[in-house]
């Protein structure tokens, strides 16, 4: 996939101690159910040449969790800026697991992801926090190497549940500069007027030519 510039991210500078270079936090603010928007954040942290991922609910909000391990109901999805070869996922929070190379879909209209995490099977067991570490042959140079939009522009997706109300659905973080592919542009009104005027002119010229040809043939 082609890397796309990350815009309007909350970048947190951390101390150089313990080998931590930088971290980036984004909210999952794209969702169909308003109650689930911006209630969960994803923080990526470069630790040496590996990246820690922490998925948390927002402090002070109702308790939220992630769940799903079958079909179109998976817990969390993300991508890696090329190269993808040699990627390993480890130190996964108990109750969650890497779904495997054959699983790319997670549901909710968020599209496919290169890597998908399974969570608790049932919504009543939805859980957070989720932590895992991502490594790669040759290592990572930046925590932003996990910000790779999929075909629909999402670089993270999650199956979220409000553990107080029981409401659940999908939420994602989408590249704000993303333009959906294969969308036919709708002409503006002014363009439509110009198009109509041009067609009328062509029609008048065609009729005039026919009248001239008819007169000459008499």
Q: What are the tens digits of pLDDT across the range 46-79?
A: 999 999 999 999 988 789 999 999 998 999 999 9
* pLDDT (0 to 100) of residue 178: 78
What share of the chain in percent tops pLDDT 90?
66
Asked if 75 and 68 touch (Cβ cutoff 8 Å), the reply is: yes
| CA distances to 35, 164, 173 from 62, in Å | 10, 6, 20
Provide the β-strand partners of residue 117.
76, 98
Q: What are the tens digits of pLDDT across the range 143-195?
A: 999 999 999 999 999 999 999 999 999 999 999 887 655 433 344 344 334 44
How confident is the prediction for the chain on average, in pLDDT? 82
**Average pLDDT rounded to a whole number, residues 32-44:** 95
- pTM (predicted TM-score): 0.75
């Amino acid at each position: 996939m082609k890397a796309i510039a990350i815009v309007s991210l909350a970048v947190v500078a951390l101390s150089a101690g313990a080998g931590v270079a930088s971290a980036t936090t984004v909210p999952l603010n794209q969702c169909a159910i308003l109650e689930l928007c911006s209630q969960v954040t994803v923080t990526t942290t470069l630790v040496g040449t590996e990246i820690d991922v922490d998925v948390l609910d927002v402090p002070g909000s109702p308790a939220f969790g992630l769940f799903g391990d079958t079909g179109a109901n998976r817990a969390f999805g993300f991508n890696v800026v090329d190269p993808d070869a040699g990627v390993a996922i480890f130190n996964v929070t108990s109750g969650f697991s890497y779904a495997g190379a054959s699983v790319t879909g997670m549901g909710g209209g968020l599209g496919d992801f290169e890597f998908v995490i399974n969570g608790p099977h049932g919504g009543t067991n939805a859980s957070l926090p989720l932590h895992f570490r991502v490594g790669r042959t040759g290592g990572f140079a930046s925590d932003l190497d996990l910000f790779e939009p999929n075909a629909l522009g999402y670089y993270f997706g999650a199956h979220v549940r409000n553990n107080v109300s029981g409401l659940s659905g999908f939420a994602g973080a989408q590249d704000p500069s993303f333009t959906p592919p294969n969308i036919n542009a709708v002409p503006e009104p002014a363009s439509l007027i110009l198009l109509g005027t041009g067609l009328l002119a062509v029609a008048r010229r065609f009729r005039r030519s026919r009248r001239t040809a008819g007169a000459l043939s008499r």
